[in-house]
Every structure is written in structure tokens, then in C-alpha cells.
Amino acid sequence: MIPAHSILPPSSAGVWVNCAAAVTMLASYPEPPTDESRRGDEAHAWAAYELRKLLRPGYPPAKPDLPEPDDETADAVAEWVEECLPLAQLAGRFWYVEERTPIERIHAECFGTADFAACDAVNNVLYVRDFKFGHAGVDAWENWQLIAYAVGLLDKLRIDDQVYTVNLGIVQPRYYRRDTQKVWELPAYELRNYANQLNHAARVALKGGPATAGKWCQFCPGRHACQAAMDLGLAMFEAASAGLPDPLSPAALGVQLHVIREARKHLEALEVGLSADAEARLLAGVLVPGWQMEATKGRQYWSVDADTVVAAIPAAAKTAAMTPTQAKKAGAPEALVDALSARKTGLKLAPLTKQTLNRIFK
């Protein structure tokens, strides 16, 4: 029986394949749920439900016990279904949605749940797709998470890697730029080298090796407490801040742009980690000089059922399918909409500035 949680999760393979301290960091600093992560989990649940519903019309899956998806989530789910449905149809009955997958060729402690896979036994192609709801671009090329799942599925389905091709893809509806490779296809036997790298990295990481900082730090929940990540951030900041000759040669310009972009990514990753640490401490009542938790207003939502909304605003028959904000724009009385809705409130980390203090003590 596969345990509930992996200490070498495929979703973090891009971290622990590069940093031997990653397993320790992942265990020591579990990431608390955020509004964005909860939205991502809900989007995944709806994506799996809608795809299963279409693939097995005679056996409808259980509907997620979640609020109905908003427009953005519904659009993302539709794009996911549009990508995966034809691949499942190619595979006939050999398709898999949210498939629990052991990956023992990498390590006995490596396992996870693949969002979607399909095995086309006619054309000898294994398709693996991962659904990303975030905004940061994710590349399919040499994507360690997809590689790990493909290795596990090849073994689980007893696929001959000398015959098959693997087609690995990322579906990321909320990433609007087109500077990442969304599909990577290669002969299945070429995954052997990657599997060996993951196997070696897993064994080293489980021994608790030293930290190695790099661009993967942005995905590590312990980056705020990692000296290697801090040192790299300071070094990159200093390199990016150093004086430059004027004019720069084309070669120097190219190098400096790379340095600045990598420095920015790494410093942004450190900021996210340090901000999460500061938020946790402030919410626990610990003073963090110069920082505060500031109240925020979230999006407005209906606090009554759809029938009540339509009955109260008969002129807008489709109001129940709209958000309260959209209903106001459509001409519904603002006071009435406010009476039938509520607004999520929250707290966010904000600097404690002189202006803020003046407002508090005025």
C-alpha cells in the first residue's frame, strides 16, 4: 500500500534533484495553505471531475463538495479538458485521471498522483499531462516532475521503452506568454538517464546533504531559512548592482542581462519565503519590526442561493450566473446586490510606514 505522503514528491523533484538539503527543508517547513493554493486545489478537483464525466458518461463521478467554480476557473478547466479529451480518445480505455503512481525505479519513497496520462497502444505513445493553475511559466522541456511521472507510468503499465515515445506536456491556462515549451516528446528509453539522475539525487537527499542554491530555490518552502539561498541572493544583488562601463559591449550587455534576470528571480523567491515567515510570526503575535498585517477586501460573492437572487432581481434572469460585481454593471441596484452578497476579507503583509503610523495615531 502506498503511504499518504511522499518525502520525495515528484512535484518537488526539480528542487531535490538539484539540492541535497531539499528533503530536510520540505519536512521542516511544510507550506501552509493560501487562498491561491486553495484555488489551485479546487481547480484540480473540478478539472478531474469534468474530464472523468466526459470520459465515462454512463458512470458519472462524484461531484466535488466545493463551491461552483468562478469564470476563471471554469475557463481553465475547459482548456484542460480540451487538451486531454482527444488524447484519452486516442488511447481507448487506457487513460488515467489523478492516477496514484509509485516510482520505485527512482526510489521507494518517490510516488505521487499524475493529473492525466493516456497510453496509445496503436501508435506506441505515452502521453502525460500536468495541470498548472498558477501564473508563473512552467516549461515541459526536462521538467523533472513530468519525467518522474513518466518513469513511474512506464514501469506501472509495463511499457517497452525501446518501442514507445513519451509525450510530456504542461497545460497552464493562466500563463499568457508563449515563451515556454508546453510539450516535450522523446524516445522513452532516453528517460533512463534522467531516472538515474533522480535515483542518485534521491539517495543523496535522504542522507541530508548540503544545500545548493539556484533557480530551484523559488520552489523550496525553506528558502527563507537557508543560508546558501541567502548568500546567493546577496551575491547576485551585488553583481547586478555593480558599476558598469558605458557603453557596454554586446557580449557584456548579454551577460549583464542574464545576471540581472537571474538575480531578480532569486530575490523574488527569497521575498516570497521571507514574507510567508513574517506573516506566520505576525499572526502568532510576534513583533516583526517595520511590518504589519493589513486588512484587505476580497471579491464579492452571493451569500444566498441562486433562486433567491433571481427572484429578487427579476430583470436580470442570468444574474445567478454572474458575480455580484457583474450584476451591478448589468444594471442591478447596488444596494440590493450588496444585501444579497458578502465580501471575503483577509489580511496581507504590508510595510509599517510613517504614513501608516500617522493614520493609526492621528
What residue segments make up the domains of the chain, in order of their start? Answer: 10-206, 215-283, 291-361
More confident residue, 358 or 103: 103
pLDDT digits (tens, 9 = 90+) for 181-198: 799 999 999 999 999 999
For residue range 2-16, what is the model confidence (pLDDT) as tens digits? 556 788 999 999 999
Cell of 293: 498585517
Q: pLDDT at position 319, please?
A: 46
Q: How does strand 183-187 pair with strand 165-171? A: antiparallel
DSSP states along 274-324: HHHHHHHHHHTT---TTEEEEEEEEEEEESS-HHHHHHH-TT-TTGGGS-H
Q: Is the pLDDT of residue 258 over 80?
A: no
Closest CA to 356 of 298, 291, 312: 291
How confident is the prediction for the chain on average, in pLDDT?
85
Coil, helix or strand at residue 196: helix
Q: What is the mean pLDDT of residues 300-314?
A: 79
Instruction: Answer whether residue 286 shows pLDDT above 50.
Output: yes
Bridging pattern class, strands 95-102 and 341-351: unpaired
pLDDT at residue 278 in the model: 83
pLDDT(110) > 60? yes
Which amino acid makes up residue 62? A
Task: Please give the Cα distance from 143 to 169 (Å, whole number).
Answer: 9
282 or 230, greater pLDDT:
282
Does the structure show a pLDDT above 50 at 180? yes
pLDDT of 264 reads 74
Average pLDDT over residues 122-141: 92
Structural class in CATH, domain 10-206: alpha beta
Q: Rounded distance, CA 344 to CA 322, Å?
A: 17
Per-residue pLDDT tens for 205-254?
998 888 888 888 877 888 877 887 777 776 666 666 666 666 778 877 78
Q: List the single range of 42-46, 234-238, 271-275, 305-309 with lowest mean pLDDT.
A: 234-238
Question: How far is it, in rounded angstroms, from Cα 112 to Cα 102?
Answer: 7
CA distance 127 to 150: 8
Provide the pLDDT confidence category of residue 153 given band limits of 50, 70 and 90.
very high
